[in-house]
Amino acid sequence: MSALFEPCTLRSLTIANRIWMAPMCQYSAEPCGPDAGVPNDWHFSHYTSRASGGTGLILTEATAVSPEGRISPFDLGIWNDTQVEAFRRITGFLKEHGTTPGIQIGHAGRKASTDRPWRGGAPLGPDQHGWQPVGPSPAAFDERHPVPDELTAAQIKEITGQFADAARRALAAGFEVVEIHGAHGYLIGEFLSPHSNHRTDEYGGSFENRTRFALEVVDAVREVWPEELPLFFRISATDWLAENGAGESWTVDDTVRLARLLKEHGVDLLDVSSGGNAASVRVPTGPGYQVPFAARVRAETGLPVAAVGLITEPEQAEGILADGEADAVLLGRELLRDPYWARRAARELGAAVAVPPQYGRAA
C-alpha cells in the first residue's frame, strides 16, 4: 500500500489519508459588522472543493481568537456564535465526503491589522478597519509595522482564555482537529523567540519563560478539547536568523526541546514550518526544504509530525513518508493550483481514494 494513502489514527480519530491541506489565509471575510470574520460562499467553495478532491484533512486558514487577533480585517474568526453557525455548513460537507475538518486558531500579535497581500499588505489604521497591534515587547516587526503595545500579564491571561473559548466554539462548529498557531512570527511565536521577546518578567528571558505562554495556551485548549480528539501545534522550526549570522534566534534545537514539552502537555502532532518572525532574512528554499526539521523532531522526540514546504509531486510526498521523515504531508500552494491533487497522486501511485458518486463515471 502507498504510505501516502494509509489512514492516520491520532487518539480516537482516524484520518482517511496523509494528504493534508495546510492553513492558507484567503483574506475574504467581511472586515466589520455582524458578518465580520464569518466564513462565506468563497470559503465554502474553497474548502469543499479540496474535500471533493480527496484531501484527507483540511485545516482552515488562521482563524482569529479575537477581532484584534486577526492578521487582517478580512480574516476569519471564531469569537462568536454567528461564526460557529457558518462553519457548521463547511464541516458538515467535509465529513459527509470523508475529509476530516480541522481549524487553526491563532492571534497575529505584532503582525496584526494589515491589508490584503494583493493590495500590498501594509498596516491599516482605524480609518481602514484597523487597530493597534499588541505583542510581547514594544518591538515592531519591520520599518512598515507600528510598534505594538506590550501585553501585561493580565492581558496574556485574557488571550489564553480566548484560545480556550475558540477551541470550545470549534468543537461546537463540528471540527475534529484543532491546531494552535505558534509559527510565522505571530503572537505565540513572538513570545518564543528572543528576537521578538525582550521581556524581563516570567514570560521573557530564559527558554522556560519564553515558552510559558505557548504551554499555557496548550494547557487551556487541551482542558476544553475532548480527550478523544487530537491537538496540533504549528511551529516555525527556526527564525533563520542564526543561519544568517544575524543575532539571537529561535533555533531547531529549541524546537526539539519545545516539542518534548508539547508532547507532555497533550499535543498529538507538530506541524513543522519555519520563518516569519524576522524581516529580510535569506531562506534557502527548494523542494521539501523544511522536511529535515520535521524529520529531526520525529526522530528525537517520537512526537508525530507533518512536513510542509514545496512538496509538489506524489513521488516526493510518498518518499517523505516511506523514509520515516514525517507522518503526513501538508500541501499549500499545490492544492491552490490543483484541488484534486490527491486524485492525481492516487492514480500515479496505484492507490485508491474515495470518489463522490457524482464523479464516479470519471474514476
Confidence tier at 242 by pLDDT (50, 70, 90): confident
Would you give the distance in Å from CA 70 to the centre of its chain? 13
Domains identified in the chain and CATH numbers: 3-354 (3.20.20.70)
Determine contact, residues 131/112, Cβ cutoff 8 Å.
yes
Cβ contacts of 226 within 8 Å, gap of 6 or more: 171
Per-residue model confidence (pLDDT) at position 128 = 94
Percent of the chain with pLDDT over 70: 100
User: Cβ–Cβ contacts within 10 Å for residue 119, how many?
Assistant: 12
User: Cβ–Cβ contacts within 10 Å for residue 289, how many?
Assistant: 14
Per-residue model confidence (pLDDT) at position 360 = 84
Mean pLDDT of 276-294: 94
Confidence tier at 245 by pLDDT (50, 70, 90): confident
- Position 363 pLDDT exceeds 80: no
For the question of whether the overall pTM of this predicted structure is more than 0.85, the answer is yes
Confidence tier at 289 by pLDDT (50, 70, 90): very high
Among 2-6, 75-79, 279-283, 329-333, name the one with the lowest average pLDDT: 279-283
Per-residue model confidence (pLDDT) at position 361 = 87
Per-residue model confidence (pLDDT) at position 241 = 93
Main-chain dihedrals φ then ψ at residue 157, nearest 5 degrees: -65, -40
Confidence tier at 96 by pLDDT (50, 70, 90): very high
Q: Say whether 142 sits in a helix, a strand or coil.
A: coil
Q: Say whether 289 sits in a helix, a strand or coil.
A: coil
- Position 197 pLDDT exceeds 80: yes
Mean pLDDT of 74-95: 98
DSSP state of 233: E
- Position 221 pLDDT exceeds 80: yes
Residues taking part in catalysis? 186
Per-residue model confidence (pLDDT) at position 40 = 98
